Structure 1
Amino acid sequence: MEATADAADVLEVVIFPWLAFGHMLSFLELSKRLAARGHAVAFVSTPRNIARLPPVPPRLSPRLRFVALPLPRVDGLPDGAESTADVPPEKIDLVKKAMDGLEAPLTAFLADAVAAGRRPDWIVHDFCHHWVPPIATGHGVPCAVFTTVYAAFQAFLGPRSANVEHPRAATEDFAVAPRWIPFPSTIAYRRRSEAEWIAGSFRANASGVSDMDRVWQLLELCRLAIYRSCDEIEPGMFALLTDLFQQPAIPAGILLPPVIADDDGDRAEALRWLDDQPPKSVIYVALGSEAPLTPGVLHELALGLELAGVRFLWALRRPSGMFSAANDAVTGELLPAGFEERTRGRGLVRTGWMPQMAALAHGATGAFLTHCGWGSTIESFASGHPLVMLPFVLDQPLVARAMAERGVGVEVARDEGDGSFDRDGVAAAVRRVMVDEEGKALASNAMKLREVLTDHGRQETYIDDLVERLRRYRGCC
């Protein structure tokens, strides 16, 4: 949708995502849709992250500008690390600490904007920016938080008041739906390892502030909460969130990115390889940018794909510290000895950036083995592929349970305690989706979900409704 807003209705919006590419790309999609409606958007991040974002369509560039704020140095953070993709999982909390150091540069940016007569109407920021609302309020600017994870995850976490009334101290408390969910629900963490991880988000980390304290502080100060979701995928959830947090919960739609086939390097090779495969014969494998991958996890996954006997394209994340290494060198270190030779002809492993939407949209792709990050799950909706699900942290286990209930995927069998899995479990899940009769029903259900969620007119209506809310509440700090 392309439109030009009347001068009096033009919004000045500052967009400020968390320093993780899944988040930045979601915020960029929201930015592009606002700019396409004639609104002025300033996308704030750090220099290296901005340089790595995909280009914006030229028609939007007059209304979508990028503001680079220098990320301060933090002890223990590698030089040049500006996103979660640049560090191993154990250093992500140091990225939060570094991001907290953007408080002074953001304050200066807002002061300059106000002095120049361009006071923003809104700052739309991410989950961990608890220090932004006080700064914004000091400059007369209201804030909205944009949540890029599964909305039901926010309901599971609940507001501070509900957690005070119904405290959850033991990991077992996170294995059942919280008491503030007023309808029958399976929203819970099934395995001890999952529950232990989410319980840890309530404790202070290396940044000095717990993730939950960040979320609670900003939700208590923000005027609106925006979600990358919609009623079709989470019916009733936004009314519940509005009631729980006592603020409007607004779905922005699923914000599907465009399918762009990049013709550079490994990416072109992967798509050319797909061109040579039979229709619906390949399972696309990608576990996102932040899954806590270990050599053991990668080896069992690889050997499971080998046992399954189906064609696969694996977008293997290159670990931190190996950005300049050649693909062969990286895969040789990470995969079982002889794996690529034994699967040559029916499997391809590529490191580096993969055009995921293009790979999923390719006619040779028939299923998606995913970690169930919300962004990747949303991208799967556009293709209508059934899922083989291997969730790790955050909202991923909840997303996996929801997709299993909808009949669009199956989870890899795992130990109920430590969450470990083996090659046999991977092979069995892949064959259920790609080979067995069950896979036909899963594929049919996935296509039905695709038809609902790719209704362009309906998705654009969510953005129009969001814009009306932003107009209605601007100036209300």
Structure 2
Amino acid sequence: MAATSDSTPAAAAAASSSSSPLHIVVFPWLAFGHMIPFLELSKRLARRGHAITFVSTPRNAARLGAIPPALSSSARLRVVPLDLPAVDGLPEGAESTADVPPEKVGLLKKAFDGLAAPFARFVAEACAAGDGEAAAATAAAGFLRKPDWIIPDFAHSWIWPIAEEHKIPYATFLIVPAALVAILGPRRENLTHLRTTAEDYMVQPPWIPFPSNIAYRRRHEAEWMVAAFRANASGVSDMERFWESEQHPNCRLIIYRSCPEVEPRLFPLLTELYTKPAIPSGLLVPPALDDNDIGVYNRSDRSFVAVMQWLDKQPNKSVIYVSLGTEAPITADHMHELAFGLELAGVRFLWALRRPSGINCHDDMLLPSGFKTRVAARGLVCTEWVPQVRVLAHGAVGAFLTHCGWGSTVESFHYGQPLVMLPFIADQGLIAQAVAATGVGVEVARNYDDGSFYRNNVAAAIQRVMVEEEGKELAHKAIELCGILGDRVRQEMYLYELIGYLQCYK
């Protein structure tokens, strides 16, 4: 469906307030950086009276945690697990990118493609339960009727035949910044402007008509972009997956986990480039404390208690929180240089340390010999789960050393934390450039070709933010940005308008 004159945000908001509840099937890619924002969107839609079916695999569903009681008791949000098919070479029990080393993610995508048949059966059964107003009237919360929408991720190149067969529209939800989708570009622009080398991605693409910093500076980051256009072990490239899905007429909207305050000028451009509305969902930052949520954001295990008790004892704004997410391709050398850098910096730190994929050793062996003993008076290393949003909201935390994954970055924005940035792949380099341009973070200096970095670089960046006078200005700008992006009324309006678009375009 093409955009029409009545498909403005104001018209969408009006539709949101005047139409009946929707049944929406939500299906993220098998990475926690994807599943968590999809689940947050699901919760928010369910709280507004819509019936949400969240599809994943059994182990991921269990790790994401229970449905909040207020939503499960009203039967507005349910989880449907689909068994992931076995694939040769994929470790037994692997159901997410956190379970496999980077070189096996292609095999995970191959297994993911095997979910097409069970998902098709699920949709057929949902449609067979009934359709239209009569069916809706007999369904307590809308689950026993045909879905009004399917909201998949970038990886579902096989979703459109299923949606087309049952005449269900779908809206792709992208949890990456709009800038990444802009530099990737639609198929037609890539056919017109061929890009085959890393250098091609180190300049702004010709379809972005205004000055920007949407280009990669480092070769290793640009080489990731080249790889995204090549077929992987699944037999399909990541770009082909996205293009195959978004270019179909049944894909009526593209939703972005972003907003114009964060990425000005990009939403009109993306609407034009992809010939369908580019809709902001808002930042979808989960609450730091929600007694009704007993899932991933509010677990009371021992590691959680120990972390919070330790933070409670630290002076205000004295701790730098360190986390490189679940998917950055961290090596043992990276771990050691980061550890030595934290030691040299001489500041308090909390490090949520994740074992690099493919490295089999005791947790203590991941770190330099004697490191924990030498920093025990001012540093805490936690190898268990850490409640990141609650850490970022804690008064003792004064900065965040991050890989610049989009989820971590928007969470830092929301809680006013300046950043020490150590990007690795995908959108992370673009995000780091944008953050540096706003004056709320500094990057760790590193080699522009291979991305290597050293302990002195880490220590210098940390001290700039936590010790030197520059850090005060960074913290001030971070708080200013928090005031803009933490506007709950504005963020709520984005979700309200999104619901309106779903009502208008169904």
Confirm or deny that 1:393 pairs with 2:425: yes
Aligned to 1:31: 42
Aligned to 2:378: 346
Q: Distance in 1 between matches of 2:450 and 2:30?
A: 29
Q: Distance in 2 between matches of 1:350 and 1:312?
A: 11
Q: Distance in 1 between matches of 2:356 and 2:445?
A: 25
Q: Distance in 2 between matches of 1:8 and 1:184?
A: 41
- Aligned partner (choices 48, 54, 62) of residue 43 of structure 1: 54
Q: 1:56: how far off?
A: 2.7
Aligned to 2:129: 116
Contact preservation (8 Å) 1:318, 1:352: no
Q: Distance in 2 between matches of 1:358 and 1:35?
A: 23
Q: Distance in 2 between matches of 1:7 and 1:248?
A: 21
Q: Distance in 2 between matches of 1:297 and 1:152?
A: 27
Within-5 A mapping of 1:144-183: 144-183=171-210
Confirm or deny that 1:229 pairs with 2:279: no
What letter corresponds to residue 462 of structure 1 in structure 2?
Answer: Y
What letter corresponds to residue 166 of structure 1 in structure 2?
Answer: H
Aligned to 2:284: 255
- Aligned partner (choices 50, 73, 81) of residue 68 of structure 1: 81
Confirm or deny that 1:373 pairs with 2:409: no
Aligned to 1:357: 389
What letter corresponds to residue 49 of structure 1 in structure 2?
Answer: N
What letter corresponds to residue 154 of structure 1 in structure 2?
Answer: V
What letter corresponds to residue 75 of structure 1 in structure 2?
Answer: D
2:78 aligned counterpart, secondary structure:
strand
Q: 1:397: how far off?
A: 0.4
Within-5 A mapping of 1:272-283: 272-283=309-320
* CA deviation profile, 1:420-475 (whole Å, cap 9, x unmatched): 0000000000000000000011001100110111111111100110001001111x
Aligned to 2:159: 132
Contact preservation (8 Å) 1:330, 1:351: no
Q: 1:258: how far off?
A: 1.2
Q: Distance in 2 between matches of 1:126 and 1:364?
A: 36
Q: 1:6: how far off?
A: 8.9
Q: Distance in 1 between matches of 2:109 and 2:18?
A: 38
Within-5 A mapping of 1:227-306: 227-260=256-289, 262-306=299-343
Aligned to 1:418: 450
- Aligned partner (choices 98, 109, 120) of residue 96 of structure 1: 109
Q: 1:58: how far off?
A: 1.2
Q: Distance in 2 between matches of 1:197 and 1:278?
A: 41
Q: 1:54: how far off?
A: 3.0
Contact preservation (8 Å) 1:262, 1:268: no
Q: 1:197: how far off?
A: 1.2
Q: Distance in 2 between matches of 1:41 and 1:383?
A: 28
Q: Distance in 2 between matches of 1:188 and 1:54?
A: 38
Q: 1:156: how far off?
A: 0.5
2:247 aligned counterpart, secondary structure:
helix
Contact preservation (8 Å) 2:221, 2:429: yes
- Aligned partner (choices 462, 465, 470) of residue 494 of structure 2: 462
Confirm or deny that 1:408 pairs with 2:428: no
Aligned to 2:20: 9
Q: Distance in 2 between matches of 1:383 and 1:457?
A: 16
Stretch moving more, 156-165 or 50-59: 50-59
Q: 1:55: how far off?
A: 2.8
Question: Where in structure 1 are there 5+ consecutive unaligned residues?
Answer: none
Q: Distance in 2 between matches of 1:70 and 1:155?
A: 34
TM-score when normalising by structure 1: 0.96
Q: How many residues align?
A: 465
Q: Distance in 1 between matches of 2:154 and 2:317?
A: 38
What letter corresponds to residue 374 of structure 1 in structure 2?
Answer: W
* CA deviation profile, 1:35-65 (whole Å, cap 9, x unmatched): 0110000000001100111333211121000
Q: 1:353: how far off?
A: 1.1
Aligned to 1:438: 470
Confirm or deny that 1:216 pairs with 2:248: no
Give the percent of matched residue pairs that are identical in Structure 1 and Structure 2: 62
Q: Distance in 2 between matches of 1:336 and 1:31?
A: 42
Aligned to 1:472: 504
What letter corresponds to residue 301 of structure 2 in structure 1?
Answer: D
Q: Distance in 2 between matches of 1:184 and 1:472?
A: 34
Aligned to 1:82: 95
Q: 1:236: how far off?
A: 1.3
* CA deviation profile, 1:127-184 (whole Å, cap 9, x unmatched): 1111001111111101110000111100010001111111111110111111110100
Q: Distance in 2 between matches of 1:317 and 1:408?
A: 25
Q: 1:320: how far off?
A: 4.3
In structure 2, relative to structure 1, the CA distance for the partners of 1:468 and 1:6 (3 Å cut) is closer
Aligned to 1:316: 353
Kindly indicate whether structure 1 or structure 2 has the higher relative contact order, using CA contacts under 8 Å at least 6 residues apart: 2
Q: Distance in 2 between matches of 1:8 and 1:382?
A: 31
Q: 1:330: how far off?
A: 3.6
Question: Where in structure 2 are there 5+ consecutive unaligned residues?
Answer: 1-15, 131-144, 290-297
Q: Distance in 1 between matches of 2:198 and 2:358?
A: 34
What letter corresponds to residue 38 of structure 2 in structure 1?
Answer: F
What letter corresponds to residue 189 of structure 2 in structure 1?
Answer: A
Q: 1:86: how far off?
A: 0.8
Q: 1:237: how far off?
A: 0.9
Q: Distance in 2 between matches of 1:355 and 1:81?
A: 23
Q: Distance in 2 between matches of 1:180 and 1:223?
A: 22
* CA deviation profile, 1:65-96 (whole Å, cap 9, x unmatched): 00011100000111111111111111111111
Contact preservation (8 Å) 2:329, 2:356: no
Contact preservation (8 Å) 2:406, 2:431: yes
